[in-house]
Amino acid sequence: ALLFISVAQVEDSSLECAWCPPLPELISGKAENTCPCPSEYVELIRRCRSLNPAHRPTFEQIRKFVHRINPHKVSPVDMMMNLMEKYSKHLEVLVAERTQDLMHEKQKTDRLLYSMLPKQVADDLRQGKPSQAQSYVSATVFFSDIVGFTQLSSTSTPYQVVDFLNKLYTTFDEIIDNYDVYKVETIGDAYMVVSGVPRENGILHASEIASMALDLVAVCKTFRIPHKPNTQLQIRAGIHSGPVVAGVVGTKMPRYCLFGDTVNTTSRMESTSEALKIQCSSSAYYLLEEIGGYVLHCRGMLQVKGKGDMVTYWLEEKQAGPVIKDRSKKPSSVLENEDHYTSIPGFLSSELLIDTM
């Protein structure tokens, strides 16, 4: 090889030839080293290939160096096995790290899925089980919208509207986390929540929605619209209790929806309500009266589109202090005033009774 290089350089003095192939740049202890040769050997080879003979180690120095690296005179096969064991442990660490990363991503996916669908429904869909619609004999639905939202939108940019709604509904979401309720959806400025679905809770769904509604109205009195800080935010709300059917609709973007006349009636309670007020139907009123602890005033007879004349009530506030109920009152299944409660489907069912004795 040296002769060929000498002849080539005589023919072309500018020719540069590599006397030996390059060695990998290895750093001892680095996990990303891919060369199977230990870095100590690479350093020894590099010194032996030095162009300056004075810098090359002697045979005695090489022998001592090799002995220091391999003091027990391990065979090449044993050294290779040790090296493979080292790589295997390193791979186990990598697999554990990747598994942990996968679990974190799965938790993020679960949180996103559970924010879109009830946990039980989401778990069934993930396991490939068919989603069946389920009927509930009694639940309470809440609707709200923003008073003057059309006018507000016309004087705001789309970005300002989105930013405003995001901040408002983020505040709402934080509040409803304190109650046994499920957020069904938001459409524009409309906010829809239900209690008693998908987890049944007797007749307590009425009080859960009532307390939540009072908190939502209260926070609106102090909430400031980001791009219109001097404008008072006002919402109107309505609640109604009755039977509903719930189920998942769609496969591409599945949605958990509520169906039934209860949803329509709640929408009417909201649309005929007033700013910063909560209008209740008679069925919701009777449930709240049975549970106790709320101040309600009769609004009177109201002409409701598609429903005719309805007696509605204003939910004003929660009673201060402990609620002392009349212990002499009979349980709700044998109330003297049963005519009121028969208007609430499922209320007199034995599965929904609260023992007041």
The yes-or-no verdict on residue 44 having pLDDT over 90 is: no
Q: What is residue 2's predicted lDDT score, i.e. its pLDDT?
A: 54
Give CATH for domain 135-319+335-352: 3.30.70.1230
**CA nearest neighbour of 331 among 344, 349, 318:** 349
pLDDT interval class at 334 (50, 70, 90): very low
**Model confidence over 220-257: pLDDT tens digits?**
999 999 999 998 999 999 999 999 999 988 877 888 89
Residue 142 has pLDDT above 90, yes or no: yes
Higher pLDDT: 335 or 301? It is 301
Express each pLDDT in 166-216 by its tens digit.
Answer: 999 999 999 999 999 999 999 889 999 999 998 999 999 999 999 999 999
Specify the domain boundaries for CATH 3.30.70.1230 within the chain: 135-319+335-352
Res. 117: pLDDT tops 90: no
Over residues 94-122, mean pLDDT: 85
Task: Read off the pTM.
Answer: 0.64
